[in-house]
Amino acid sequence: MTAISSIRNLGPAMEAALTAAGVPDAETLRALGADAAYARLLANGFAPHFISYYVLHMALQGRPWNDCKGAEKDAMRVQFDALKASHADPVRTELEAFLDRIGVTDRHLRK
């Protein structure tokens, strides 16, 4: 078993989150792939954040975390939004939509 934090770009915090979500090591992470692993994070209560999503992708490709740019990043954003939506809490989503409608929150500031 190889530590998740041995993978470039993934530190102790991501390792702890993935371990708590049932991904105990780098081998399991690589076998699952970025999307399935991120889905496990979301199902385990991890707050969705686009940067953590694409960092995970870049890490599994052995690329620097900030190497994701342009069309690749745009396409990844679409994948992230779909994954996030599939794990959204419907009550929370409904509340956020209502707060947006009455102008209490700024949806552009949320991640």
Domain assignment present for residue 110? The answer is no
Distance CA 73, CA 63 (A): 14
Q: What is the rounded distance in angstroms from the CA atom of residue 56 to the CA atom of residue 49?
A: 11
Q: From CA 57, how far away is CA 107, in angstroms rounded?
A: 25
**Per-residue confidence band for 105, with pLDDT thresholds at 50, 70 and 90:** low
* Residue type at position 56: L
* pLDDT per position as a tens digit, 33-76: 999 999 999 988 888 999 999 999 999 999 999 999 999 999 99
pLDDT at 111: 46
Q: What is the pLDDT of residue 90?
A: 58
Asked whether residue 106 is domain-assigned, the answer is: no
Tell me whether residue 107 is in a domain: no
**Number of independent structural domains in the chain:** 1
- Buried residues in 93-105 as b, exposed as e (16+ CB within 10 A): eeebeeeeeeeee
The rounded distance, in Å, linking the Cα atoms of 62 and 45 is 27
Tell me the pLDDT of the chain averaged across its residues.
Answer: 88
Q: What is the DSSP letter of 102?
A: T
Please report whether residue 56 resides in a domain: yes
Identify the domain containing residue 90 by its residue range: 4-101
- 96 pLDDT higher than 90: no
- The answer to whether residue 49 is domain-embedded is yes
**Listed residue (95, 89, 97) closest to 48, CA to CA:** 89
Q: Do the domain assignments include residue 108?
A: no
Query: For residue 28, is it within any domain?
Result: yes
pLDDT at 36: 96
Domain-embedded: residue 111: no
Give the per-residue pLDDT at 30: 98
CA distance 104 to 65: 34
Dist. CA 59–CA 50, nearest whole Å = 14
- How much is the average pLDDT of 95-102? 74
Query: Which pLDDT score, from 0 to 100, does residue 104 have?
Result: 76
